[in-house]
Copies of this chain bind each other. A is one copy, B any other.
Amino acid sequence: MTPRGYTGPLSPDGRASLVPPPPWHYSGDFMIAEYRTDPEAVKALLPAELEPAEDPGAVAAIFADWQSCSADGRELVDPIQAQYREFFIVVGAKFGGRPVSRCVYIWVDKDFAMYRGWIQGFPKKLGSIHMTRTFDAGRAAPRIEAGARFGATCAANDRQIARMTLTLEHVSETGPTVNDPPMHNTRHFPAAAGSTPDVFELVRAGGTDRDATEVWEGTPELRLFDDTLEDLQAIAPHELLRGYRFSFGYTVDGVEVVAQHDRQEVR
């Protein structure tokens, strides 16, 4: 009998695995600011298999405050294993002529969520993320109503990444649009040696049991900072569009491989 696990560390009963096997259930609160940036900068972040979107400079900056758990929900009573927050930047594209979306940068504050992200094609780094919450009592929390103000920040490696505020105006008829089409990310795992990856594939994310509250929209402010390890200024906002706030949940059981990338091109 050899040691087992959905991921390492492998162990006799598999329980030591950093990431438990899918399905994974998710519940979260979202703050989104949509904006337009330089379309060429977005194009420079797309792999060869994806074409620019109809609105090629459209971007969504997304904060999410999550709980997630395994099928048996055991993490929910040890919340350090369930809770995490993330900030990610999503652009639009086309694949096979149809609209898709793609996560180009993402920061998260827990290890299990980071590695689970890599498995699904989210290139997660660790960051520190904060996002205003609503509470049901007291004067230190906005309620979900017109005029309510929410804020969020992300930093990584002690460098500021993003700051967003959102003033709610009304229930949205459309909801956010940039991140609406199916996400097409890249799973990438380097080889033991050399610069040609062992895994390098375009995957479509899905999910079942989607559940969402009413979406509120309003006026966002967004700053992407200039002293980051990534070139965020290339995709900084030229024109801010609308902001959105809502709660969302779903269940994920893997992603679907839709293409193999050219492993020589990434070198």
B-contacting residues of A (Cβ < 8 Å)? Answer: 1-13, 15-16, 18-19, 21, 25-29, 44-48, 66-69, 73, 76-83, 104-106, 110-111, 114-115, 118-121, 123, 125-126, 128, 130-133, 135-142, 149-155, 157-160, 163, 165, 186-195, 198-199, 201, 203, 209, 211-213, 227, 229-231, 234, 247-251, 253-257, 261-262, 265-267
Are B44's CB and A12's CB within 8 A?
A: yes
Residue of B nearest to A253 (CB): B193
Inside 8 A of A234's CB, which chain B residues have their CB?
12
Q: How far is the CB of A264 from chain B (nearest CB, A)?
A: 10
Which of B142, B211, B266 is close to A137, meaning CB atoms less than 8 Å apart?
Answer: B211
Which of B16, B19, B80, B248 is close to A105, meaning CB atoms less than 8 Å apart?
Answer: B16
Q: How many copies does the complex hold?
A: 4
Cα distance A262–B18 in the bound complex, in angstroms: 20
Inside 8 A of A151's CB, which chain B residues have their CB?
76-79
Q: Which 3 A-B pairs have the closest CB atoms?
A: A138-B249, A8-B123, A193-B254
